[in-house]
Amino acid sequence: MDIGAIWDVIALGPMINILIGLSDILLGSFGLTIIVLTIIIRAVMFPLTRKQMNATKAMQDLQPKLAELQKKHAKDSKKLAQEQMQLYKESGVSPAGCLLPMLLQMPIWIALYQSIMRVLAVAPGNFLNLSEYLYSWPIVFKALPVDSQFLWLNLGSSDFLLALLVGASMWVTQKMSSAPSTNPQQKSQAQMMTVMMPLMFTFFSLTFPSGLALYWIISNIITIVIQYMITRSWGSLDVPKYVAMIKGLIPARKNNTKDKKLKERIASVENGSKKEVKALQADISNDDVQVAEEGTDAGDREERQDGGGGHKTSFDRAKQKPRGGRNRRSKRR
């Protein structure tokens, strides 16, 4: 038995039959079936999703220290790797922790995607192939063909509005999951992902049946809800959090700086727009980088970066748990 046949037996077959059976229970509405099954699957996978999001958050929290190590051991990759491993060990963070739960979820997403494509049977040959996956449950034969009409949609054809909604929901998930970073490289990577992913999925949605786009939208909405439940944050979408971040991040900077203009700017930003907050953040970051090149204070940096992530908990944790065995004293003071 080749791997394709095994996949069909353990993943695709069950998913297809559940989809068809469920559509019969849900009064023949295949659109509703896609929504309900997506919710069920995401609920079942919630522990894995939570694990992944927590691990991602923990990795984000470590980014300042990792950046510091990279800077410190830029010319010694062996030493850098050792130090990074040591840091992961000390922090109890596993880089695989972000990927493993996501990888475990991938087969289910792929099976769901393939099932929708087959059950909607865009081409006649596609529908013919569906027969080999059908169980001999009477409900399965009764439910076919599934009703491809849902709201204004023909689930078997692409839909422009739904494609835009996919892009928009994907953009929100990307914004929520990407922490505002003070590292220019990380920032540009995050910005790139925030733009590229929605564009890609909008393109896919314009190419594939809208049934699949419906699945992506529901899945994105669930991701947004879970993300908010876990992080209690709207990520970089959250303007008040930005303000709080700035306020929490730089009191020392505000007190220590002799730059009167900067002080005034920090004070005014409390009522400022998101754009102003971002501009200020960028200025402070650049300033910090210059200071770091002269000699950094890990503790201060940690506080800034944690706050930059918009995660109150990580910010607090960073303040509560200074790393032992490291020089925490500020060289700037």
Partner 1 sequence: MKKNKNVIIKAIILAAVLIIALLSASCSSTAYTNFGWSGSVVDDGTIYVASQGKLAALQKNNGSVIWQREIEKDTATSSALSCGMSSAASVIYANPVVYNGVVYVATYSGKIYAYSTASGNLLWKYPNEGYVQGIIGGLIIDNGAMYFAAVGGTVTALNIETQQVIWQYDTKDTLWASPCLNGDTLYIASYDKRLFAIDINSGDLKWTQPFKTNGPIVAAPVCDNGIVYIGSLDRGIYAIDSENGELIWKFSADSDAEYTPRNWFWATPLVVDGVIYAPNMDGFVYIVNSSDGRLITALELNNAVSSNPVLFEDKVIVSTQNGDLYSINTANNTKFLFKSLDLTVQSSLSVDDGIIYVHTIKAEYLYAINGNSGVVVWYYDVG
Q: Which residue ranges make up the site for partner 1 (CB under 8 A)? A: 114, 117-118, 122-126, 128-129, 131-132, 134, 136, 138, 141-142, 144-145, 156-158, 184-185, 188-189, 192-193, 196, 199-200, 203-204, 206-209
DSSP 131: G
CB of 216 to partner 1, least distance (A): 12
CB of 196 to partner 1, least distance (A): 5
When the beta carbons of 183 and 231 are compared against partner 1, the nearer one is 183
Cα–Cα distance for residue pair 134/129, rounded to 1 Å:
10
When the beta carbons of 190 and 318 are compared against partner 1, the nearer one is 190
When the beta carbons of 77 and 207 are compared against partner 1, the nearer one is 207
- Find all residues with CB under 8 Å of 118, minimum gap 6, and list them: 12, 16, 126, 129, 130, 133
When the beta carbons of 209 and 272 are compared against partner 1, the nearer one is 209
Name beta bridge partners: 149: 154
CB of 203 to partner 1, least distance (A): 7
User: Closest Cα to residue 178, out of 312, 310, 19?
Assistant: 310
CB of 71 to partner 1, least distance (A): 14
CB of 13 to partner 1, least distance (A): 13
Give the 3-state secondary structure of residue 50: helix
When the beta carbons of 164 and 206 are compared against partner 1, the nearer one is 206
CB of 325 to partner 1, least distance (A): 32
When the beta carbons of 117 and 244 are compared against partner 1, the nearer one is 117
CB of 123 to partner 1, least distance (A): 4
Contact 332, 301 (CB under 8 A): no
When the beta carbons of 116 and 224 are compared against partner 1, the nearer one is 116
Q: What is the distance of C-alpha 160 from the center of its chain?
A: 24
Q: What is the distance of C-alpha 108 from the center of its chain?
A: 18
CB of 213 to partner 1, least distance (A): 11
Tokens standing for residue 326 = 């490291």
Cα–Cα distance for residue pair 139/141, rounded to 1 Å:
6
CB atoms within 10 A of CB 213: 28
Cα–Cα distance for residue pair 195/112, rounded to 1 Å:
25
When the beta carbons of 93 and 165 are compared against partner 1, the nearer one is 165
DSSP per residue, 192-210: HHHHHHHHHHHHHHHHS-H
Instruction: Find the Cα–Cα–Cα–Cα dihedral 290, 296, 285, 182, rounded to 10°.
Output: 130
